Amino acid sequence: MDEEIRKKFEAIEKRISILEGSSKKEDIILQENSPDEIFEEHDGKIVVTQITGETPKEKAKNIVLLSLLGYKQKLGELDVHASKLRENVAIHQIPLENFGTWVKELSPQSVIKKGKRGSTKITYKLTTFGEAKAKNLLKEMLANGKTE
């Protein structure tokens, strides 16, 4: 009985190490390709240069995810001030009046909001799921070349 359990654990550990290895390789590929094609750094701020999405709502949500990923990858910032994200959305001429509602739809699964409603010190942070979602979006953009 113990031998059978040990073999099952070894098989699970082997699968986990394979999955972790492929995930790390993907991260390295994304980090090598994405900064120059999707993100630019200007005065300590990340600017998303290419976007994807059908509607302004989709575009804004994608910009938020990509911005948060860019800040994390390029500048090492985990918590990003809401004004930086709003700026990124505004650069692409997407109306900001529904920004809060759109970002709220990403919460709590993809992003975590810190700060009180109406505060000028609100920050956002990617969750693990949100990071994976942003990386998949980035991967699709790089593979398809579908951007605006």
Q: Of 21, 18, 20, 38, which Cα lies nearest the Cα of 30? A: 38
- Three-state secondary structure readout of the chain: CHHHHHHHHHHHHHHHHHHHHHHHHHHHHHHHHHHHHHEEEECCEEEECCCCCCCHHHHHHHHHHHHHHHHHHHHCCCCEEHHHHHHHHHHCCCCCCCHHHHHHHHCCCCEEEECCCCCCCCEEEECHHHHHHHHHHHHHHHHHCCCC
The residue-averaged pLDDT of 10-15 equals 76
**pLDDT given at position 20:** 60
Band (111; pLDDT cuts 50, 70, 90):
very high
Residue 146 has pLDDT above 80, yes or no: no
Q: With 50 as the cut, is the pLDDT of residue 29 above it?
A: no
**Mean pLDDT, range 13-39, rounded to an integer:** 58
Query: For position 18, what pLDDT does the model report?
Result: 65
pLDDT tier at 145 (50, 70, 90 boundaries)? Answer: low
Predicted pLDDT of residue 32? 47
- For the stretch 31-71, pLDDT in tens is 444 445 677 887 888 888 888 888 889 989 999 999 899 88
- What integer pLDDT is reported at residue 33 of this predicted model? 47
Whole-number Å distance between alpha carbons of 140 and 93: 23
State how beta strands 80-81 and 111-114 pair.
unpaired
